[in-house]
Amino acid sequence: MFVFNITIQIAWDIADEWIDWQREVYIPEIMATNLFDEFKLYRLLDQEDHEGPTYTLQLFTTDEERYRLYLKDYSVGIQQKAIAKWGNQFIAHRTCMELILD
């Protein structure tokens, strides 16, 4: 199992609208690629959030090839849509993890 993890800090004044957009637009577009099997969206706790809340979106896939295909064919376009929508009101950091023990 591989987990594509996107950690995003957003401005406080867009938090509610951003979550709606995640639910209605962003996550459905990623899942429509059929390269991820499920997702989870978390809010980080015990985090200094003076600038805004921090969330982590975890997208689960069965193998690294599907993750690499997402990066090659979809990631840039989807990221550009987020930038067009939210501008500089967020900061995102992306990582991929491989499950070792379950």
Question: Class for domain 2-98, per CATH?
Answer: alpha beta
Confidence grade of residue 73 (pLDDT, cut at 50, 70, 90): very high
Give residue-wise pLDDT tens across range 8-55.
999 999 999 999 999 999 999 999 999 999 999 999 998 777 889 999
| DSSP 8-state secondary structure symbol assigned to residue 14 | G
Helical (H) or strand (E) element with 28: helix 27-31
Give me the residue spans of the domains in the chain: 2-98
At a CB cut-off of 8 Å and minimum separation 6, what does 5 contact?
Answer: 56, 57, 58, 59, 94, 95, 96, 97
- Which pTM value belongs to this model? 0.91
